[in-house]
Amino acid sequence: MQDSNIAILAGQGVVGQRKLNSLVKDWGKLPEKQRAEALQALTRSMPPRHRELIEKYFKELARNQQVAP
């Protein structure tokens, strides 16, 4: 089994409004890996406190979307 490595992230952590709206709409339908990658891209350059709030929001959004008909 290969050890985990720390990723070197060079992005700005900036997402356009259209992309963000699309993520919010389909968040609960995305596979876990895509959600994790999107969340990382969204929060990359944020201070830790903001990152925690955004992560909490999207986790709650996914939970609500999976329960809703």
How would residue 4 be classed by pLDDT, with cut points 50, 70 and 90?
Answer: low
35-48 per-position pLDDT tens digit: 888 888 878 878 88
Tell me how many degrees the CA angle 56-53-44 measures, rounded to the nearest 5.
100
Burial class from Cβ neighbours inside 10 Å (0-12, 13-18, 19+) for residue 4 reads exposed
In the structure, what pLDDT confidence band is assigned to residue 26 with cuts at 50, 70 and 90?
confident
